[in-house]
Amino acid sequence: MAKIEPKKTAMPEQPASERIQNFDEVPYGYTEEMAIAEAKRCIQCKDPKCIEGCPVEIDIPGFIRLIAEGDFRGSVRVMKEKNLLPAVCGRVCPQEDQCEKFCVLGKKFEPVAIGRLERFIADWEARQGEAEIPKPAPPTGKKVAIVGSGPAGLTVAGDLIKLGHKITIFEALHKPGGVLVYGIPEFRLPKEIVFREVDYLQKLGVELITSFIVGRTKTVDELLTEYDAVFLGTGAGLPWFMFIPGENSKGIYSANEYLTRSNLMKAYRFPEYDTPIMQGKRVATIGGGNVAMDSARTALRLGAEESIVIYRRSKTEMPARDEEIEHAEEEGVIFNFLTNPVAYHADKDGWVKEIECIRMELGEPDASGRRRPVPIENSNFREPIDTVVVAIGNSPNPLVPATTPGLETTKHGTIVVDETTGRTSKKGVFAGGDIVTGAATVILAMGAGRVAARSIDEYLKTGEW
């Protein structure tokens, strides 16, 4: 057997100094040669541990073997058996905590670059032109309403349309895709990819109705009179604030607003697009997750001279993906660890001018196992700032639960479901994704969608609850 290359095949990308001037995607992706070379690093384990790390159980050695053999079309087919959105997952999955974490190569060397290969094969397919439209399944006469067009909703739609059910997706915003479109920036996930996948679903026969707010335009109970089942995939879209003095000053955004203005409304192309956004010179982003990294990197591209991340714990505890942190560092994002804002100070017109922070130290581990940050007394300091993005988390939007009698929720506002079926406390209503787990990941939302789709199909056949 040939000697194993210890490192992953590198993926070419835009140099940091160039890419902070544009919103184009950062990595270019593998060429065919690079993909084949990387695929050959996989030793095709008899007992492939990598699959255990993938929430949708993709046949990882299977699709990689076909890449190594140059049979890209075959590889696409293996991939699509389990994953409807490989172009998305290959880009945004936290692979280091999932498939790649379990790869046996990882014990001695770098693991196989499963995510990069997944992305390669999906992009390869897209370059071949229109995806094949499979023959439609014989209609079952059953109708399913899907609320929300994020990864959870899209997965349910894709699985159920193939079984012959009639599917309608209702989306509150004017564009489908959920966080994939309004939250994750173009430079990390080109919107084109998401729209292509949605387009494919529509070609399969899925009906998409945008600007339809369930709970307002129609309630879940009203949908239940027209549809045999309803799936709730409304995500965790309610932004948290810290409720500290001065937080409502001008120039202070939630990450949702900042990213929605930039991504969904394309404010980075103002005035060609109508929606404005603050182009701050010194921008502070509060938080340490993917959302914070996306915001801090967006700020640079909007022209910030300094983009500072303020995080109350240390680098080790940061929940953001390694790749995102690395990219942010390369681009010049400044990290201010063990620091927490306590107030904002504005000028007489209400514009934020200074951020007041306190230093923190790490104490005992908390429920999440991470060491709890504790403020250090009298360590307050102020720094000039002109834009702030609060990226400390999101919880589920209460609109659907509040307008749906009989739908059980937790004290965190998430919907209670049976994990193995996605069934809620209300007959005919299923749920999955961030609305159930709280803010999580794309692939977990898709996994939940898959589980729910299977059990919706069963319910439609048997009528048993």
Distance, CA of 242 to CA of 165 (rounded, Å): 44
- Which entry of another protein, ligand FAD, ligand SF4, none binds 50, CB below 5 to 8 A by partner kind? ligand SF4
Closest distance of CB 304 from ligand SF4, Å: 31
- Biggest CA-to-CA distance, the chain: 72
Q: How near is the Cβ of 124 to ligand FAD at its closest, in Å?
A: 22
Chain position carrying tokens 């996306």: 294
Nearer to ligand SF4, 99 or 252 (CB): 99
Q: Which helix (H) or strand (E) holds 438?
A: none
What does 234 bind: ligand SF4, ligand FAD, another protein, none (CB cut-off 5 to 8 Å by kind)?
ligand FAD
Query: Using an 8 Å Cβ cutoff, are 148 and 448 in contact?
Result: no
The answer to whether 258 touches 389, Cβ cutoff 8 Å, is yes
Rounded to whole angstroms, the Cα distance separating 206 from 382 reads 53
CA atoms within 13 A on the CB side of 40: 14
**Which residues are CB-neighbours of 33 under 8 A, at least 6 positions away?**
none
- The packing angle between helices 32-39 and 114-127, to 10°, is 140
Assess contact for 172 and 213: CB atoms under 8 A: yes
Shortest spacing between CB 92 and ligand FAD, in angstroms: 4
Smaller CB separation from ligand SF4, 65 or 166 = 65
By CB under 8 A, what part of segment 243-282 binds another protein? 243, 247-248, 250-251, 253-254, 256-257, 260-261, 265-266, 270-276, 278
Q: How far apart are CA 35 and CA 69, in angstroms?
A: 11
At closest approach, how far in Å is the CB of 117 from ligand FAD?
A: 17
Whole-angstrom distance, CA of residue 247 vs CA of residue 390: 9
Taking the complex as a whole, the smallest distance from the CB of residue 140 to another protein amounts, in Å, to 26
- Contact code string over 137-176 relative to another protein, x by CB under 8 A: -----------------------------------xxx--
Residue found under tokens 């307002």: 216
CA atoms within 13 A on the CB side of 165: 26
With CB under 5 to 8 Å by kind, the binding choice for 36 among another protein, ligand SF4, ligand FAD, none is none
User: Quick one: which segment of 111-119, 213-221, 329-337, 378-386 binds another protein (CB under 8 A)?
Assistant: 213-221
C-beta closer to ligand SF4: residue 98 or 414: 98
Considering only residues 315-334, where is the footprint of ligand FAD by CB under 6 A? 321
Among 4, 37, 137, 238, binds another protein (CB under 8 A): 238
- # of chain residues touching another protein (CB under 8 A): 40
Q: In whole angstroms, give the CA distance from residue 424 to residue 121.
A: 36
Give helix 114-127 / helix 72-82 axis angle, nearest 10°: 110
Chosen from ligand SF4, ligand FAD, another protein, none, partner binding at 20 (C-beta under 5 to 8 Å by type): none
Contact between residue 50 and residue 100 where contact means Cβ atoms under 8 Å apart: yes
Regarding 264 and contact with ligand FAD (CB under 6 A), the answer is: no
Residues that bind ligand SF4 (CB under 6 A): 42-45, 48-50, 54, 56, 58, 60-61, 83, 89-90, 93, 95, 98-99, 103-105, 112, 114-115, 118, 443
β-pairing, 238-239 vs 394-395, is antiparallel
Sign of CA dihedral 435, 438, 443, 448: negative
Q: Restricting to residues 405-464, name those near ligand FAD by CB under 6 A.
A: 433-435, 439-443, 445
In whole angstroms, the minimum distance from the beta carbon of 176 to another protein comes to 13
Nearer to ligand SF4 (CB atom), residue 95 or residue 168: 95
Residue whose structure tokens are 């929430």: 55
| DSSP letter (8 states) at residue 426 | S
Site string for ligand FAD, 154-193 (x = CB under 6 A): ----------------xxxx----xx---xx---------
Of residues 181, 183, 186, 308, the one with CA closest to residue 256? 183
CA–CA gap between residue 344 and residue 245 (Å, rounded): 6
Provide the pairing of β-strand 334-336 with 306-310.
parallel
Contact positions vs ligand FAD (CB under 6 A): 92-94, 147-153, 170-173, 178-179, 183-184, 213-215, 233-235, 237, 259, 290-291, 294, 321, 397, 399-400, 433-435, 439-443, 445
Contact positions vs another protein (CB under 8 A): 172-174, 210-213, 216-218, 237-239, 241, 243, 247-248, 250-251, 253-254, 256-257, 260-261, 265-266, 270-276, 278, 349-350, 397-399
